[in-house]
Amino acid sequence: MSFANLIDGRAIAGQIHDETTQRITALKARGVQPGLAFVRVGEDPASKVYVGRKEKACAQLGIFSETHVLPQATTEADLLALLGRLNVNERIHGILVQAPLPTHFRATVVYSTVLPQKDVDGFHPVNVGKLMLGDPTGFWPCTPMGVRELLIRSQVKIEGADIVVLGRGNIVGKPMAAMLCQKGRHANATVTLCHSQTRDLGAHCRRANILIAAMGVPEFVKADMVKPGTVVMDVGVNRVNDPKATNGYRLVGDVEFAQVQPLAGKITPNPGGVGPMTIAMLMQNTVRAAELSLNLNN
């Protein structure tokens, strides 16, 4: 089986890290080291892994980082107080509150507390609003921004394409659709946002030139849902039981890769596709926040 149609997220993320490193060097020449604060509540295993990967990327690129781990029983008031301190800490240019938060927190309140200019995750209402309005001065969410960058750097034509986004979540689906339908370069697509209540989902998918799966359902996209030549972007990360695996489980995407890959014009593997790009975009956003702070303070 040929894998010539794979979009190598690790290689493209590496290119972006190289570009980001050059910007970090320029900042350090002006006496500024980009700083990123991670805030994690509780001991969710996946969150620990994700934060660990982001910490490693910071260390490799030369971004200062610090991690604040709060107990599961932390009150919302205590979390907001920590965010308030990070907001005024000049060493910190970006703040990331790792999702998901425990259920006793109001996520909208937490994300709204982070200053928009330090919201490198793109979750603050100001940044969400700027994205919807096509205002490039805000921060975009890292995962959909990474998907868009993969398409651009893989020479996939977005302008005029029929794009189907599976999933209407606030982290990927909604911002993904907003990015791709904007009037501007590397956008101007006709976007259909599908979800659990969409009628005849397969028909929508088969119409797509680009199919972006972000539903969080293991191997949901089957071969009969994809027309030959479609570009398939698999955003999902799902844990499924596997007695043969060392940990008793394995990770799969939202696409049944083995069956869909031979049909696809291009396709992201999972892992090694979208995941590395999320981190690359986070590092890029953090550096941009540091650059903006320099302009604001001068």
Helix H or strand E segment including 225: none
User: Is 227 in a helix, a strand, or coil?
Assistant: coil
By the 8 A CB rule, do 131 and 175 touch? yes
CA angle 261, 262, 267 (to 5 degrees): 35
By the 8 A CB rule, do 98 and 38 touch? yes
Helix H or strand E segment including 205: helix 201-207
Helix H or strand E segment including 237: none
Give CA torsion, residues 128, 132, 137, 143, to 10 deg. Answer: 60
By the 8 A CB rule, do 42 and 15 touch? no
By the 8 A CB rule, do 226 and 205 touch? yes
Q: So which residues are the catalytic ones?
A: 54, 98, 121
